Amino acid sequence: MDKNWMELLRQKNQIQIIKQTNEYSEKYGLTLTEQDAKVLVTERKGSLQTQKRVEFGQGVLPKLIYAFCDSAYITQENYVDMLTQLQELFYLFKNEMMDEITDDELICFMKEQFETICYGDLEYLGGTCLDIFAQAIRAGYRDYRDSEGEGAYHTLDEVPRWDYELYQEALRDLF
């Protein structure tokens, strides 16, 4: 059947829905103009087509906005760009994880790593954290379900993040 019917599934009033998130995000100094919302909707369409997915209902963008708008690494200047990349990563890894993970679990995982491991670096988030997590999920890892994605990465992380002994040693050298 013609793929065009999937276009019909997509919500028409996305711009309005996205703009409504301003009510919440403006307390963190982040707002989206009509033009920004249009850009995001266009980018969303492109990402969905690239990832061969179809979205229905409100879509994931409002959820991403509510989850990430309080981040210290997102400013008004990079807000639209960050959201564009976040939704791209979201759809890509939804596929990479073979739909085994729910929207909320994936967003929770992304936000946690974005803040604590990546320090706002989306390249590291996609190229390392999400990639390792996706590999684990494809291999059958399901422990994240108990915590809905929270704290799941530290068991999979290949990089030693904090060496207590080394810290103590450095501290002793200093004083």
Q: Which residues bind another protein (CB under 8 A)?
A: 1, 3-6, 8-9, 48, 52-60, 63, 91, 94-95, 99, 102-104
* Min dist. Cβ of residue 78 to another protein (A): 24
Both tokens of 31, joined, read 């707002």
CB of 19 or CB of 63, closer to another protein: 63
CA–CA–CA angle 13, 16, 21 (5° rounding): 130
- Least distance to another protein, CB of residue 153, Å: 21
What DSSP character marks residue 43? H
* Residue number, 43 or 128, with CB nearest to another protein: 43
For residue 58, the minimal CB distance to another protein (Å) is 7
What is the closest distance, in whole angstroms, from the C-beta atom of residue 55 to another protein in the complex?
Answer: 4
In the complex with another protein, which residue's Cβ is closer, 59 or 126? 59
Vertex 109: Cα angle to 156 and 135 (nearest 5): 45
Report the residue number, 98 or 166, with the smaller CB distance to another protein.
98
Residue carrying the six token digits 């200093």: 174
Residue 141 Cβ vs another protein, minimum distance, rounded to whole Å:
18
Smallest distance from the beta carbon of 142 to another protein, in angstroms? Answer: 14
Radius of gyration of the chain (CA): 18
Longest dimension (CA), the chain: 72
CA atoms 147, 119, 83, 138: torsion sign: negative
The smaller minimum CB distance to another protein, of residues 87 and 128, is found at 87
Q: What is the DSSP string of 102-125?
A: -HHHHHHHHHHHHHHTSTT-HHHI
Q: Which 8-state DSSP code applies to residue 175?
A: -
Structure-token pair, residue 112: 């946690």
Shorter beta-carbon distance to another protein: residue 75 or 95:
95
